[in-house]
Amino acid sequence: MRVRPTLRWTPTEDLPPATTDLDPVVDALRAGGVLVLSGAGISTESGIPDYRGEGGSLSRHTPMTFQEFVGGAAARRRYWARSHLGWRTFGRALPNAGHRAVAAFGRDGLVSGVITQNVDGLHQAAGSEDVVELHGSLDRVVCLSCGRMSPRSELAERLEAANPGFSPVAAGINPDGDADLTDDQVVGFRVVPCAVCGGVLKPDVVFFGETVPPQRVELCRRMVRESESLLVLGSSLTVMSGLRFVRLAAESGKPVLIVNRDPTRGDRHARARVGLPLGAALTTVAGRLGVTVEEAAA
């Protein structure tokens, strides 16, 4: 039986309405020491869908759980077939205006760090430093037996060699890099083992059903404690992995600001939620602060 992750959060209380006023975000960044917490919504403008927004992938797709992945070869074949195909698109995604604005704020000393729930590496690709990947990254692979870490590009080459001509038509791609394929489309896919010990390979990401490593959580807690304010970008905060940092900031008396078009589970802890598209909103904020945002790569 597959464990279905939380699809949506339904508010049980009246929440303050969203605003289109960017003044609180501008003021917080001008003061400096802003810690950014980002979710899937910041990457949608790069062509990567989110989980829970309008048309989010969880309405049609159940991510594989850790228990299912380690529980059988058939599940791993399904995962790696779908992930291998999805990586051809996912791995080519480029940072968008939102990522570039966050990087620019960092270069100007306005942002103290970034905690991202995303596994796409786009903050780093845009030039952000001091990024903590809360849920890991798809561009790394780990062996569950010997612990060897290797680049995803290495595995992609090995899977290409083991599955020549594998190019089924997918119905779509998901935030975890997983392509929508049917069981019939993956039945003949060949999974490759660890090149060193022959063990099971897993992407270096936190699956549903896994816990974030405690040392990573503590690092993020320290980043919250050392910040002046918390700016949440594109996260519904439905799951506790991100919401706990919002709660910690609020309990510590630090301003929490959210930019997200839909209501979030953290709204009651926030000074304001700005309901505007992220790329345009952050570009406007940068302009008001006199921060130069690099142009998109050609």
List the structure tokens of 127.
């030039």
Give the residue, 172 or 159, on which the prediction is more confident. 159
pLDDT in tens, 108-162: 999 999 999 999 999 999 999 999 999 999 999 999 999 999 999 999 999 999 9
What is the signed CA dihedral for 92, 97, 101, 102, rounded to 10 degrees? -50
pTM for the full model?
A: 0.91
**237 touches 182 (CB < 8 A):** no
Q: How confident is the model at residue 3 (pLDDT cuts 50, 70, 90)?
A: very low
For the chain, give every domain's residue range. Answer: 23-289
Q: What is the mean pLDDT of residues 265-278?
A: 96
List the structure tokens of 118.
């995303």
Does residue 45 have a known ligand-binding role? yes
Does residue 46 have a known ligand-binding role? yes
Q: What is the DSSP string of 123-186?
A: HHHHT--SEEETTEEEEEEEETTT--EEEHHHHHHHHHHHSTT--PPPS-B-TTS-B---HHHH
Residue 116, classed as helix, strand or coil, is strand
Q: Residue 297 has what pLDDT?
A: 72
Is position 269 annotated as part of the catalytic site? no
Selecting among 61, 84, 135, 269, the annotated active-site residue is 135
Q: Residue 2 has what pLDDT?
A: 40
Supply the mean pLDDT for the chain.
91
**CA separation for the pair 200, 180 (Å, rounded):** 23
Q: What is the mean pLDDT of residues 38-43?
A: 95
Instruction: Give CATH superfamily name and number for 23-289.
Output: TPP-binding domain (3.40.50.1220)
Q: Residue 51 has what pLDDT?
A: 58
Does residue 68 have a known ligand-binding role? no
Amino acid at 77: R
CA distances from 263 to 68, 102, 140, 236 (A): 31, 22, 33, 7
Q: How confident is the model at residue 208 (pLDDT cuts 50, 70, 90)?
A: confident
**CA separation for the pair 298, 240 (Å, rounded):** 38
